[in-house]
Amino acid sequence: MRKKLTALLIGLMAGLLPLSSHAAKTPAKPEPFSATPEVRDFILEMHEQHGFDVAHLTRQFASIHANATVLRAIQPAAVPEQQRSWQRYRVRFVNEKRLSSGLRFWQENSAELTRAAAIYGVPQEVIVAIIGVETEYGRNMGKFGVLEALATLAFNYPPRADFFRSELEQFLLMARENGISPLEIKGSYAGAIGIPQFMPSSQRRFAVDFDGDDKIDLRGSTTDAIGSVARYLNMFGWQAKAPIAIPARVEGDPLALIAAGFKPSLPLQDLLKQGVSTLNNTEQLAEQASTQPAALIDLVTPDQPTEYWIGFDNFYVITRYNRSSFYAMSVFQLAEALREAQSVKAQ
Protein backbone atom coordinates (compact mmCIF):
# COMPACT_ATOMS: atom_id res chain seq x y z
CA MET A 1 0.00 0.00 0.00
CA ARG A 2 2.79 2.44 0.89
CA LYS A 3 4.50 1.80 -2.45
CA LYS A 4 1.24 2.48 -4.29
CA LEU A 5 0.75 5.74 -2.41
CA THR A 6 4.32 6.81 -3.22
CA ALA A 7 3.78 6.02 -6.89
CA LEU A 8 0.53 8.03 -6.78
CA LEU A 9 2.41 10.99 -5.32
CA ILE A 10 5.02 10.82 -8.09
CA GLY A 11 2.28 10.69 -10.70
CA LEU A 12 0.54 13.75 -9.27
CA MET A 13 3.79 15.70 -9.09
CA ALA A 14 4.69 14.75 -12.64
CA GLY A 15 1.41 16.14 -13.86
CA LEU A 16 0.29 12.75 -15.12
CA LEU A 17 -2.91 12.53 -13.10
CA PRO A 18 -5.24 15.45 -13.94
CA LEU A 19 -6.86 17.18 -10.99
CA SER A 20 -9.84 18.08 -13.16
CA SER A 21 -11.30 16.52 -16.28
CA HIS A 22 -11.90 20.05 -17.62
CA ALA A 23 -8.26 21.15 -17.55
CA ALA A 24 -7.43 23.47 -20.43
CA LYS A 25 -5.28 22.07 -23.19
CA THR A 26 -1.83 23.62 -23.57
CA PRO A 27 0.63 23.48 -26.48
CA ALA A 28 2.74 20.32 -26.54
CA LYS A 29 6.08 20.60 -24.76
CA PRO A 30 8.93 18.11 -24.40
CA GLU A 31 7.80 15.53 -21.88
CA PRO A 32 9.68 15.88 -18.58
CA PHE A 33 11.48 12.80 -17.34
CA SER A 34 9.23 12.71 -14.27
CA ALA A 35 6.34 11.81 -16.58
CA THR A 36 8.05 8.62 -17.76
CA PRO A 37 6.99 5.42 -15.97
CA GLU A 38 10.54 4.03 -16.10
CA VAL A 39 11.89 7.17 -14.44
CA ARG A 40 9.19 7.04 -11.78
CA ASP A 41 10.21 3.47 -11.03
CA PHE A 42 13.83 4.64 -10.80
CA ILE A 43 12.85 7.37 -8.33
CA LEU A 44 11.13 4.76 -6.17
CA GLU A 45 14.24 2.60 -6.26
CA MET A 46 16.44 5.54 -5.21
CA HIS A 47 14.04 6.17 -2.34
CA GLU A 48 13.92 2.56 -1.21
CA GLN A 49 17.61 1.74 -1.65
CA HIS A 50 19.26 5.03 -0.72
CA GLY A 51 16.65 7.08 1.16
CA PHE A 52 16.19 9.85 -1.41
CA ASP A 53 13.19 12.10 -0.88
CA VAL A 54 10.60 11.20 -3.52
CA ALA A 55 9.09 14.66 -3.86
CA HIS A 56 12.47 16.38 -4.13
CA LEU A 57 13.85 13.92 -6.69
CA THR A 58 10.64 14.07 -8.71
CA ARG A 59 10.89 17.86 -8.93
CA GLN A 60 14.44 17.56 -10.23
CA PHE A 61 13.44 15.08 -12.94
CA ALA A 62 10.44 17.28 -13.78
CA SER A 63 12.83 20.05 -14.83
CA ILE A 64 14.71 17.99 -17.45
CA HIS A 65 13.81 16.01 -20.56
CA ALA A 66 15.50 13.85 -23.20
CA ASN A 67 18.30 15.76 -24.91
CA ALA A 68 18.44 15.18 -28.68
CA THR A 69 21.99 16.56 -28.90
CA VAL A 70 23.21 13.96 -26.40
CA LEU A 71 21.57 11.17 -28.39
CA ARG A 72 23.19 12.37 -31.61
CA ALA A 73 26.60 12.66 -29.98
CA ILE A 74 26.56 9.13 -28.55
CA GLN A 75 25.86 7.50 -31.92
CA PRO A 76 28.76 5.68 -33.63
CA ALA A 77 30.27 7.36 -36.68
CA ALA A 78 28.17 6.81 -39.78
CA VAL A 79 31.22 5.85 -41.87
CA PRO A 80 33.09 2.99 -40.14
CA GLU A 81 36.52 3.78 -41.57
CA GLN A 82 36.42 7.20 -39.92
CA GLN A 83 36.68 5.40 -36.59
CA ARG A 84 40.09 3.98 -37.42
CA SER A 85 42.52 6.64 -38.57
CA TRP A 86 45.46 6.96 -36.23
CA GLN A 87 46.93 10.03 -37.92
CA ARG A 88 43.60 11.86 -37.89
CA TYR A 89 43.15 10.97 -34.22
CA ARG A 90 46.72 11.78 -33.19
CA VAL A 91 46.83 15.30 -34.59
CA ARG A 92 43.90 16.30 -32.36
CA PHE A 93 45.87 15.62 -29.18
CA VAL A 94 49.58 15.52 -29.91
CA ASN A 95 50.23 19.00 -31.22
CA GLU A 96 52.06 22.20 -30.40
CA LYS A 97 49.07 23.78 -28.64
CA ARG A 98 48.67 20.95 -26.13
CA LEU A 99 52.42 20.72 -25.69
CA SER A 100 52.90 24.41 -24.86
CA SER A 101 49.79 24.51 -22.66
CA GLY A 102 50.95 21.31 -20.96
CA LEU A 103 54.33 22.77 -20.11
CA ARG A 104 52.63 25.78 -18.59
CA PHE A 105 50.25 23.53 -16.62
CA TRP A 106 53.23 21.50 -15.40
CA GLN A 107 55.06 24.61 -14.24
CA GLU A 108 52.00 26.04 -12.48
CA ASN A 109 51.26 22.77 -10.66
CA SER A 110 54.78 21.46 -10.16
CA ALA A 111 54.48 20.83 -6.40
CA GLU A 112 51.19 18.94 -6.72
CA LEU A 113 52.48 16.83 -9.61
CA THR A 114 55.68 16.00 -7.72
CA ARG A 115 53.64 14.91 -4.69
CA ALA A 116 51.24 12.81 -6.76
CA ALA A 117 54.09 11.06 -8.57
CA ALA A 118 55.81 10.30 -5.25
CA ILE A 119 52.67 8.86 -3.64
CA TYR A 120 51.23 6.90 -6.57
CA GLY A 121 54.29 6.14 -8.73
CA VAL A 122 52.81 7.66 -11.89
CA PRO A 123 55.18 9.96 -13.85
CA GLN A 124 54.27 13.62 -13.80
CA GLU A 125 54.21 13.83 -17.60
CA VAL A 126 51.63 11.04 -17.83
CA ILE A 127 49.31 12.84 -15.38
CA VAL A 128 49.70 16.06 -17.35
CA ALA A 129 49.13 14.29 -20.67
CA ILE A 130 45.88 12.65 -19.56
CA ILE A 131 44.50 15.97 -18.35
CA GLY A 132 45.66 17.54 -21.61
CA VAL A 133 43.98 14.93 -23.77
CA GLU A 134 40.79 14.88 -21.69
CA THR A 135 40.00 18.60 -21.31
CA GLU A 136 42.99 20.58 -22.60
CA TYR A 137 44.04 21.22 -19.01
CA GLY A 138 40.56 22.11 -17.79
CA ARG A 139 39.52 24.39 -20.65
CA ASN A 140 36.87 22.05 -22.11
CA MET A 141 35.05 20.29 -19.28
CA GLY A 142 31.68 20.11 -21.04
CA LYS A 143 28.54 22.24 -20.92
CA PHE A 144 25.84 19.59 -20.67
CA GLY A 145 23.75 19.24 -17.54
CA VAL A 146 25.02 15.91 -16.23
CA LEU A 147 21.67 14.89 -14.75
CA GLU A 148 19.91 15.43 -18.07
CA ALA A 149 22.68 13.79 -20.10
CA LEU A 150 22.79 10.66 -17.94
CA ALA A 151 19.00 10.41 -17.77
CA THR A 152 18.80 10.74 -21.55
CA LEU A 153 21.23 7.87 -22.05
CA ALA A 154 19.80 5.76 -19.23
CA PHE A 155 16.21 5.92 -20.49
CA ASN A 156 16.48 6.73 -24.21
CA TYR A 157 19.57 4.86 -25.42
CA PRO A 158 18.88 1.11 -25.19
CA PRO A 159 22.34 -0.12 -26.35
CA ARG A 160 23.95 1.07 -23.09
CA ALA A 161 20.96 1.78 -20.89
CA ASP A 162 22.14 -0.42 -18.01
CA PHE A 163 25.55 1.26 -17.86
CA PHE A 164 24.14 4.79 -17.87
CA ARG A 165 21.39 3.93 -15.42
CA SER A 166 24.08 2.75 -13.02
CA GLU A 167 26.05 5.95 -13.62
CA LEU A 168 22.90 8.01 -12.99
CA GLU A 169 22.49 6.27 -9.64
CA GLN A 170 26.15 6.91 -8.79
CA PHE A 171 25.84 10.54 -9.88
CA LEU A 172 22.91 11.24 -7.57
CA LEU A 173 24.77 9.61 -4.69
CA MET A 174 27.90 11.62 -5.52
CA ALA A 175 25.98 14.91 -5.65
CA ARG A 176 24.34 14.18 -2.28
CA GLU A 177 27.65 13.23 -0.68
CA ASN A 178 29.19 16.51 -1.83
CA GLY A 179 26.19 18.68 -0.94
CA ILE A 180 25.67 19.84 -4.53
CA SER A 181 22.44 20.05 -6.48
CA PRO A 182 22.64 17.54 -9.36
CA LEU A 183 21.03 20.17 -11.59
CA GLU A 184 24.06 22.45 -11.15
CA ILE A 185 26.75 20.04 -12.34
CA LYS A 186 27.97 20.35 -15.93
CA GLY A 187 29.99 17.81 -17.90
CA SER A 188 30.32 15.96 -21.18
CA TYR A 189 27.45 14.59 -23.24
CA ALA A 190 28.22 11.17 -21.72
CA GLY A 191 28.18 12.45 -18.13
CA ALA A 192 31.94 12.72 -17.54
CA ILE A 193 32.81 15.39 -15.00
CA GLY A 194 35.56 17.87 -14.33
CA ILE A 195 39.18 18.44 -15.30
CA PRO A 196 39.97 14.71 -15.60
CA GLN A 197 36.51 13.75 -16.99
CA PHE A 198 35.65 11.07 -14.45
CA MET A 199 32.36 9.23 -14.75
CA PRO A 200 30.39 9.41 -11.48
CA SER A 201 31.26 5.84 -10.46
CA SER A 202 34.95 6.57 -11.01
CA GLN A 203 34.75 9.74 -8.95
CA ARG A 204 33.14 7.89 -6.05
CA ARG A 205 35.65 5.03 -6.26
CA PHE A 206 38.95 6.66 -7.23
CA ALA A 207 38.85 10.44 -6.73
CA VAL A 208 40.76 11.89 -3.81
CA ASP A 209 40.69 15.09 -1.78
CA PHE A 210 44.27 15.97 -2.69
CA ASP A 211 44.16 19.59 -1.56
CA GLY A 212 42.93 18.71 1.95
CA ASP A 213 39.82 20.90 2.04
CA ASP A 214 37.54 18.00 3.06
CA LYS A 215 35.74 17.80 -0.26
CA ILE A 216 36.42 16.36 -3.70
CA ASP A 217 36.00 18.95 -6.45
CA LEU A 218 37.15 17.76 -9.85
CA ARG A 219 35.78 20.85 -11.62
CA GLY A 220 37.21 23.55 -9.40
CA SER A 221 40.33 22.00 -7.86
CA THR A 222 43.24 21.28 -10.16
CA THR A 223 45.00 19.70 -7.19
CA ASP A 224 42.16 17.21 -6.63
CA ALA A 225 42.19 16.41 -10.36
CA ILE A 226 45.95 15.71 -10.37
CA GLY A 227 45.78 13.45 -7.34
CA SER A 228 42.72 11.64 -8.65
CA VAL A 229 44.26 10.86 -12.06
CA ALA A 230 47.37 9.49 -10.38
CA ARG A 231 45.36 7.40 -7.93
CA TYR A 232 43.13 6.06 -10.72
CA LEU A 233 46.13 4.76 -12.67
CA ASN A 234 47.74 3.42 -9.50
CA MET A 235 44.59 1.51 -8.55
CA PHE A 236 44.52 -0.13 -11.96
CA GLY A 237 48.06 -1.43 -11.49
CA TRP A 238 50.48 1.23 -12.70
CA GLN A 239 54.06 0.03 -12.30
CA ALA A 240 56.50 2.75 -11.28
CA LYS A 241 59.52 3.16 -13.57
CA ALA A 242 58.29 0.39 -15.91
CA PRO A 243 58.06 0.91 -19.69
CA ILE A 244 54.87 1.93 -21.45
CA ALA A 245 55.44 1.17 -25.14
CA ILE A 246 58.19 0.91 -27.75
CA PRO A 247 57.94 1.12 -31.56
CA ALA A 248 58.14 -2.10 -33.52
CA ARG A 249 58.25 -3.55 -37.02
CA VAL A 250 56.43 -6.66 -38.15
CA GLU A 251 57.28 -9.33 -40.69
CA GLY A 252 54.60 -11.71 -41.90
CA ASP A 253 50.94 -11.71 -40.90
CA PRO A 254 50.35 -10.20 -37.42
CA LEU A 255 46.60 -10.92 -37.44
CA ALA A 256 46.71 -13.49 -34.62
CA LEU A 257 48.79 -11.20 -32.39
CA ILE A 258 46.49 -8.25 -33.06
CA ALA A 259 43.41 -10.37 -32.38
CA ALA A 260 44.80 -11.17 -28.93
CA GLY A 261 44.02 -7.56 -27.96
CA PHE A 262 46.11 -4.91 -26.22
CA LYS A 263 46.18 -6.60 -22.81
CA PRO A 264 49.77 -7.91 -22.49
CA SER A 265 49.76 -11.70 -22.41
CA LEU A 266 53.10 -12.88 -23.85
CA PRO A 267 56.58 -12.26 -22.45
CA LEU A 268 58.30 -9.82 -24.76
CA GLN A 269 60.98 -12.38 -25.58
CA ASP A 270 58.26 -14.72 -26.91
CA LEU A 271 56.56 -11.94 -28.86
CA LEU A 272 59.87 -11.19 -30.58
CA LYS A 273 60.02 -14.77 -31.84
CA GLN A 274 56.79 -14.31 -33.82
CA GLY A 275 57.89 -11.88 -36.50
CA VAL A 276 57.99 -8.79 -34.29
CA SER A 277 61.19 -6.79 -33.82
CA THR A 278 62.13 -3.55 -32.10
CA LEU A 279 63.75 -0.55 -33.70
CA ASN A 280 67.48 -0.03 -33.24
CA ASN A 281 67.25 2.74 -30.66
CA THR A 282 64.99 0.66 -28.38
CA GLU A 283 66.95 -2.59 -28.33
CA GLN A 284 68.42 -1.93 -24.90
CA LEU A 285 65.01 -1.21 -23.40
CA ALA A 286 63.62 -4.35 -25.04
CA GLU A 287 66.41 -6.40 -23.50
CA GLN A 288 65.68 -5.01 -20.05
CA ALA A 289 61.97 -5.77 -20.46
CA SER A 290 62.41 -9.15 -22.13
CA THR A 291 60.44 -11.09 -19.52
CA GLN A 292 57.63 -8.54 -19.09
CA PRO A 293 54.21 -9.25 -20.61
CA ALA A 294 53.70 -7.44 -23.91
CA ALA A 295 51.13 -7.03 -26.67
CA LEU A 296 51.32 -5.95 -30.29
CA ILE A 297 49.50 -2.68 -30.96
CA ASP A 298 48.41 -1.73 -34.49
CA LEU A 299 47.70 1.93 -35.28
CA VAL A 300 45.84 1.97 -38.57
CA THR A 301 45.51 4.89 -40.96
CA PRO A 302 43.64 4.38 -44.25
CA ASP A 303 45.92 4.40 -47.33
CA GLN A 304 49.06 4.50 -45.16
CA PRO A 305 51.30 1.78 -43.70
CA THR A 306 50.12 0.55 -40.32
CA GLU A 307 52.20 1.76 -37.38
CA TYR A 308 53.12 -0.99 -34.92
CA TRP A 309 54.09 -0.70 -31.27
CA ILE A 310 54.78 -3.07 -28.42
CA GLY A 311 52.61 -2.21 -25.43
CA PHE A 312 53.43 -3.19 -21.85
CA ASP A 313 51.26 -3.34 -18.73
CA ASN A 314 51.41 0.43 -18.21
CA PHE A 315 50.05 0.98 -21.73
CA TYR A 316 47.15 -1.29 -20.85
CA VAL A 317 46.56 0.66 -17.62
CA ILE A 318 46.10 3.84 -19.67
CA THR A 319 43.42 2.06 -21.70
CA ARG A 320 41.47 1.56 -18.46
CA TYR A 321 40.91 5.33 -18.56
CA ASN A 322 39.61 5.11 -22.13
CA ARG A 323 39.46 1.70 -23.77
CA SER A 324 41.17 2.66 -26.99
CA SER A 325 44.69 1.99 -28.21
CA PHE A 326 44.55 5.31 -30.08
CA TYR A 327 43.76 7.11 -26.83
CA ALA A 328 46.50 5.38 -24.87
CA MET A 329 49.09 6.05 -27.58
CA SER A 330 48.10 9.73 -27.76
CA VAL A 331 48.56 10.04 -24.00
CA PHE A 332 51.91 8.26 -24.20
CA GLN A 333 53.24 10.33 -27.09
CA LEU A 334 52.07 13.61 -25.58
CA ALA A 335 53.67 12.57 -22.28
CA GLU A 336 56.96 11.80 -24.06
CA ALA A 337 56.90 15.15 -25.85
CA LEU A 338 56.21 16.92 -22.55
CA ARG A 339 59.00 15.05 -20.78
CA GLU A 340 61.52 15.85 -23.50
CA ALA A 341 60.53 19.52 -23.64
CA GLN A 342 60.65 19.81 -19.86
CA SER A 343 64.11 18.23 -19.85
CA VAL A 344 65.35 20.79 -22.39
CA LYS A 345 63.92 23.64 -20.30
CA ALA A 346 65.74 22.34 -17.22
CA GLN A 347 69.16 22.38 -18.91
Please identify every residue annotated as catalytic.
134
- Report d(CA 176, CA 236) in Å as an integer: 27
- Given the DSSP bridges, would you call strands 144-145 and 245-250 parallel, antiparallel or unpaired? unpaired
- Given the DSSP bridges, would you call strands 245-250 and 307-311 parallel, antiparallel or unpaired? antiparallel
Vertex 190, ends 157 and 226: CA angle to 5°?
155
* Element spanning 84, H or E: none
> Which residues lie below 8 Å from residue 321, measured CB to CB, with a gap of 6+?
130, 232, 233, 327, 328, 331
Q: Give the residue from 337, 331, 338 showing the smallest Cα distance to 105.
A: 338
Cβ count within 10 A of residue 244? 25
- Report d(CA 190, CA 193) in Å as an integer: 9
- Report d(CA 84, CA 82) in Å as an integer: 5
- Report d(CA 175, CA 74) in Å as an integer: 24
- Report d(CA 239, CA 264) in Å as an integer: 14
Vertex 343, ends 116 and 120: CA angle to 5°?
15
CA distance between the termini of the chain: 75
Q: Give the residue from 128, 151, 155 showing the smallest Cα distance to 61.
A: 151
- Report d(CA 20, CA 226) in Å as an integer: 56
